[in-house]
Amino acid sequence: MNDRQADMAGEQAKAWARVRASLRESAGARLFDQWLKPIELVAADEADTVRLALPSAFMTNWVRSHYADRLALEFRQHLPHVRSVEVETRRLGAVAEVLTIESPAPERAPVQVAAAPDAGMIFERPVLESRYTFDRFVVDQSNRVAFNAARTVAEPGRPRFSPLFLHGGTGQGKTHLMHAIAHAFLAANPDANVLCMSAERFMFDFVAAMRVRDTFAFKARLRSADLLLIDDLQFIAGKDATQEEFFHTINEIVGAGKRLVIAADRAPQHLDGVEPRIIGRLGAGLVADIKAADLPLRRAILTRKVADLPDAKVPADVLDLLAARIHSSIRELEGALMRVVAYASLTGETLDLDFAVQTLGDSLRGAQRRVTIDEIQKLVSQHFDLKPLDLISARRARAVARPRQIAMYLSKRLTTRSLPEIGRKFGGRDHSTVIHAVRRIEELRDSDRDVDAAVRVLLRELEA
């Protein structure tokens, strides 16, 4: 090694010591010890290239997939001239010049990181959403069985059933329950091996391990888990090799008396393209579905969400609007709430019903069931024990005029009809009459409980 190479090597070694310290702090002890601690700095030929080596092809692929960009960014903070960071496989005993670091040197990892499931293998700490806990999950009849089953799986001691199979539509709470299980299980068993991944990640890691002929570490990693959670199982449909490995993983986990939780967007028997033996194995555990949230549950979820935003003041009618209009998924519902809260904060405007409608615009229209003025007139007349003809008549008695104003208000709020069109549907009235009716009902909703209650009931029925 000439003087130039020695200087370059020393420069990179010092930078690597700082990078390692940063990674250890940000990644946490478990993930760092398992995946990043075995990395060695290898002598590079070019000053703008950093070469790192790992003892296993599987570990190399994992680090490239999860930390390639982060490693490059970290090195550039200390060595701005570095253009690339190369991660390669270099087993022990290979001819290579490994640079030493003047800080305490890490212990050299053995070639076979996971020689056997009981070899003391350390798993990375799962990346869990901190908000997804049991106490933040709103329960009602649509999800009670799944919720209770999830809590049971997380309890200490031998699991009462395994696997637990959760199924339901997108954004209905499956991922929330899976993360809640992991949180509760780790709270009771801090040193437990918990692995949480999507079926797509399972497939990607398995194929990568097969490609480099290093499936042993992959299998040991999964089968050493005390709790294994796999989401979106439907994505392995038609993948024969992946399904073969998945089947054996199920058998190993369940056979060892460990916990397995799987989620998908449909029940096991409806998973087209999934092998019958896998479906049978999943059905041998507990299958729990999460039904689509109804209006009361959506409203309760929004109330809970607002409670977590102490600085946000969201009027009840805005929450009613979101709960009634957005019913495709809980995730979309919560996203809509966060959007109006954020926009109000950024613009300094008052968060009221008009602001919510203006902000969400297309989202509300796309989710809204098409309500007609005829439907509104029919329902309002039934609610107030009138005839539909009364609402379009010239009668001005309060028992008719007030319901007529409510019907106009609802027509303006729930349909895309213009003010003149609404006026014509109410006996050929002028658009100014419609404006007056809308403003009057808005005022009364703030001061008259009976009017407000009637409007809420009608809104729920029309938007259900």
Which domain covers residue 342, as residue numbers?
295-367
- Asked, for residue 346, whether it belongs to a domain, the answer is yes
Looking at the structure, tell me whether residues 447 and 326 fall in a common domain.
Answer: no
This prediction has a pTM of 0.56
Using left for φ > 0, alpha for ψ between -120 and 50, and beta otherwise, residue 369 falls in beta
- Asked, for residue 95, whether it belongs to a domain, the answer is no
- Please determine, for residue 162, whether its predicted confidence score (pLDDT) is greater than 50: yes
Looking at the structure, tell me whether residues 147 and 274 fall in a common domain.
Answer: yes
Q: Tokens 């000053």 appear where?
A: 47
Q: Is 285 annotated as a binding residue?
A: no
Number of domains the chain contains: 4
- Asked, for residue 94, whether it belongs to a domain, the answer is no
Q: Is 423 annotated as a binding residue?
A: no
- Please determine, for residue 464, whether its predicted confidence score (pLDDT) is greater than 60: no
Work out the pLDDT band at 300, boundaries 50, 70, 90. Answer: very high
- Asked, for residue 109, whether it belongs to a domain, the answer is no
Q: Which residues contact 350 (CB under 8 A, 6 or more apart)?
A: 344
Looking at 290, 319, 352, which one is the last position of a domain?
290
Which of 134 and 102 is assigned the larger pLDDT?
134
- Please determine, for residue 102, whether its predicted confidence score (pLDDT) is greater than 50: no
Cβ–Cβ under 8 Å, residues 194 and 186: yes
Looking at the structure, tell me whether residues 164 and 187 fall in a common domain.
Answer: yes
Q: Look up the CATH number of the domain holding residue 322.
A: 1.10.8.60
Which range, 12-21, 280-289, 403-412, 415-424, is most confident? 403-412
The stretch 150-172 carries a mean pLDDT of 89
- Asked, for residue 120, whether it belongs to a domain, the answer is no
Q: Is 239 annotated as a binding residue?
A: no
Angle 64-68-73 from CA coordinates, rounded to 5°: 170
For 256-290, the pLDDT digits (tens) are 889 999 999 888 888 888 889 999 888 888 999 99
The C-alpha atoms of residue 350 and residue 343 are separated, in whole angstroms, by 10
Looking at the structure, tell me whether residues 415 and 458 fall in a common domain.
Answer: yes
- Please determine, for residue 185, whether its predicted confidence score (pLDDT) is greater than 90: yes
Cβ–Cβ under 8 Å, residues 124 and 26: no
Name which of 28-37, 170-179, 252-261, 303-312 the model is least confident about. Answer: 28-37
Q: Look up the CATH number of the domain holding residue 389.
A: 1.10.1750.10
Q: Between the CA of residue 417 and those of 322, 370, 371, 373, 426, what are the distances in Å?
A: 21, 11, 11, 9, 13
The residue ranges of DSSP E strands in 21-113, in sequence order, are 40-42, 49-54, 84-89
The C-alpha atoms of residue 138 and residue 192 are separated, in whole angstroms, by 27
Q: Is 175 annotated as a binding residue?
A: yes
Looking at the structure, tell me whether residues 160 and 274 fall in a common domain.
Answer: yes
Determine if the peptide bond prior to 80 is cis (ω within 30°).
no
Neighbouring C-beta atoms of residue 187, cutoff 10 Å: 10
The C-alpha atoms of residue 288 and residue 139 are separated, in whole angstroms, by 14
Looking at the structure, tell me whether residues 208 and 352 fall in a common domain.
Answer: no
Looking at the structure, tell me whether residues 224 and 347 fall in a common domain.
Answer: no
- Asked, for residue 103, whether it belongs to a domain, the answer is no
In whole numbers, what is the pLDDT of the chain averaged over residues? 82
- Classified as helix, coil or strand, 106 is coil
Looking at 367, 400, 422, which one is the last position of a domain?
367
The pLDDT of residue 378 is 92
Looking at the structure, tell me whether residues 169 and 269 fall in a common domain.
Answer: yes
Q: Tokens 């437990």 appear where?
A: 192
The pLDDT of residue 229 is 93
- Asked, for residue 311, whether it belongs to a domain, the answer is yes
- Please determine, for residue 367, whether its predicted confidence score (pLDDT) is greater than 80: no
